[in-house]
A and B are shown apart, each in its own frame.
Chain A
Amino acid sequence: MSDFRAAYINELYKISKKKKITVTIILSVLAVILTGIVVYAINRFAGIRITGYSEFPTLALSVFSYTLIPLFTAFVCIDMFSSEFVEQTIKITLTGPASRFKVFTAKVLAAATFIAANLLFVMLITLIVSLFINGIPTDLFKIILSYIFEFFPIFVFALMIILICNITKGTVSAFMISILVFLLLNGLGIVFSAYKSFLFTSAFDWYKLFLGSYINFHKIFRVFVILCGYGIMLFGISNYLFDKKEL
């Protein structure tokens, strides 16, 4: 277990030492502030309040859950897998005392931690910005719940990228394929909207299921099971490929 903890801390340490993390923080703040300014300006000059009473943080989530958050997640996952394969630095980790399964799990958990931290960070920034636009959000509980639930589909997306990293040979190809898959799944969801339950990308806005006065718990449960299914499958396949990988 101490091996696993060390592997996990190492992964977080590596993420935190990258310049990308600074870029992530700066871009997140800028994007949130920009969105805030747009919302404010539209009300100021056109008289339209985009967010209504709906809190600014949920509005920001609906925008970022399809843009910045998956993008940053892709960067981090590709750094953790593809970059280390290409630069061969993975050899240091893989000749260490932790088994490959532990290393893989540590990396996945580090990705999950990053996603959670990114969501938490965006939520805090949006809450601060919303003080300037809407005043104090009235339903903090639902906002927090929305951000917590957004974690799951993004995490499944991260597992998808990790699988792609374990199949592709370079960082650029892994990134391009990840983006393509993301667009493709979203596109398929629009074209075959009756069957989009099969696509985890359709759960990217599932937190909206909680926001209304009527909450369809059965539906929430089904989506959760679908995400779990995806998670288990992707984790299993990626772990197998990672274990089999020869360096």
Chain B
Amino acid sequence: MKLSKKMTALCACVVGVALLTTSAFADVLIGSGYYNLKNAAKTTAAKLTNETDNFTIDIAATVKVDDKAIVESTGQTKCDVKNQATEESFKTVDNGKTEDGYTYSDKEESISRDGNTGVYYIYKKTNTGKDSVIENPFNVKGADDVEKIIDAFVGSLQDTVQVEETDGKKMYTGNLSDAQIPPLVNAISSYALKYGILDKNRSEDMGIPYPETNIYVLGASGKAIEGKDGIIESVIGSASASGTDENGAAHTYSVEFSVSITDINNTTVAKPDLEGEDVEYSTSGFELSEKYVGKYKNDIVKQEDNSFVKCGERIFEITSVENGVMAGKYYEVYNNGYQPNTKREFEFSTKVTKGDYFNSFTYTENGEEKTGIIEESGKQNLMVSLDIEMNDDGGYRTKDSSKNFDETFIRVFE
């Protein structure tokens, strides 16, 4: 009898564990529709950024109030992964007004067209080659944590995603009724709708009723199709919310969107032909060029009684800029009666190094090698910081904290 009690307990344990593990393993293996969809999204991102040469993404979104379209927007992005170039264009119809735009970018430059004026802005990248134009969003730092938080939020709703497989293609569909939406998600979305997406002024501008009370999410639905190669070809989704305006009438606010990925390895990204177009150039960061050769001054000012008195001038003179090498001198000129004991003065001929955020150079003053920073200030002026120290995080700080000038040197035109 003793043995049989032990056996019974053991049997219960074995049966329980067997049921539990087989079912749980099956559950993990089958995975929820949500997990499969998530993996499909990851596969898609990975394949598109690593295994394909190029592709096109089309996006369309519509905002409706009581089934009347208020804003319609379409966009197309062509990506050339091989050559790291993209072409983006979009068109928005907002309450009857049409707006469009176009941007081309590659490692060297980005060209964007203002839809209203037709002017092309060319923006030269100075930090070429560092950032890739197309990146896998799942590899971004912190993506794992975000994924876990979303998983926890989704909870049992994971299983509302349904998967159907036909002809090697998988179709994911999901429908959330209002009863399934977690209260917190409902509250946050409703709050966002009332105070973020639509505020009172905006809804008046757009001529749509503003939801005052009883705002809640009516439901959401989505559908995604995964192709044979594991890449999601298209996604369509919609979400809607209800709210009552100040007159007590209920309105439905909904968003519909669709995304499709097409022309894999069949997309050509071409730089626009700017022949005969209105073009404006700009560069990122500061690039020292010959046009900066000249004299720059910064007043030395002192406070006497209740007035400012000019004592002299700091002069920063660039005599030549060639292949990134800048030559010139720094000196100080004092007015009579304000001569100091020592005047700061040095000459330099140094290469200007382009950093991530600023340009630096080295110079020798009193036999000591020091570092300085040179930046543009306004159009023609310079900002020069002398005797600085680089920080580990890529920034810098001035060693002499007692300096009492603003480091802006005004171009002197003679």
Asked if A and B form a direct contact in the complex, defined as CB atoms under 8 angstroms apart, the reply is: yes
Interface positions of A (Cβ within 8 A of B): 42-44, 46-55, 58-59, 62-63, 139, 142, 189-191, 193-195, 197-198, 202, 205-206, 208-209, 211-214, 216, 218-219, 222-223, 225-226, 228-237, 239-240, 243
Q: Identify which of A42, A202, A226, A243 contacts B5 (C-beta below 8 A).
A: A243
Known: A50-B183, A193-B148. A212 touches B176 (CB 8 A): yes
Cα(A233)–Cα(B148), bound, Å: 30
Verify B5–A229 contact, CB threshold 8 A.
no
Cα(A186)–Cα(B404), bound, Å: 59
Verify B157–A193 contact, CB threshold 8 A.
no
Q: Does B290 contact A (CB under 8 A)?
A: no
Known: A197-B27, A208-B155. A47 touches B212 (CB 8 A): yes
Distance in angstroms from A74 CB to nearest chain B CB is 21
Verify B194–A226 contact, CB threshold 8 A.
no
Verify B9–A49 contact, CB threshold 8 A.
no
Cα(A54)–Cα(B30), bound, Å: 29
Q: Does B177 contact A (CB under 8 A)?
A: yes
Surface stretch bound by A, among B75-83, B118-126, B185-193, B389-397: B185-193
Interface positions of B (Cβ within 8 A of A): 5-6, 8-13, 15-24, 26-28, 30-33, 35, 148, 151-152, 155-157, 159-160, 162, 173-183, 186-187, 190-191, 194, 211-218, 242-243
Verify B16–A233 contact, CB threshold 8 A.
yes
Distance in angstroms from A127 CB to nearest chain B CB is 15
Known: A58-B179, A139-B179. A191 touches B148 (CB 8 A): yes
How many inter-chain contacts with C-beta < 8 Å in the A-B complex? Answer: 176
Cα(A44)–Cα(B8), bound, Å: 59
Interface of chain B, main secondary structure: helix
Verify A198–B178 contact, CB threshold 8 A.
no
Q: Identify which of A218, A226, A235 contacts B24 (C-beta below 8 A).
A: A226
Q: Identify which of B13, B181, B194, B215 contacts A54 (C-beta below 8 A).
A: B181
Residues of B within 8 A of A211 (CB): 177, 179-180
Residues of A within 8 A of B174 (CB): 214
Verify A222–B23 contact, CB threshold 8 A.
yes
Rank and list the top 4 A-B pairs by shortest CB-CB distance, nearest first: A236-B12, A233-B16, A229-B20, A229-B19
Residues of B within 8 A of A218 (CB): 30
Residues of A within 8 A of B28 (CB): 194-195, 197-198
Verify B179–A55 contact, CB threshold 8 A.
yes
Verify B23–A226 contact, CB threshold 8 A.
yes
Residues of A within 8 A of B217 (CB): 52
Residues of B within 8 A of A54 (CB): 177-181, 186
Verify A208–B180 contact, CB threshold 8 A.
yes
Residues of B within 8 A of A212 (CB): 160, 175-177, 179-180
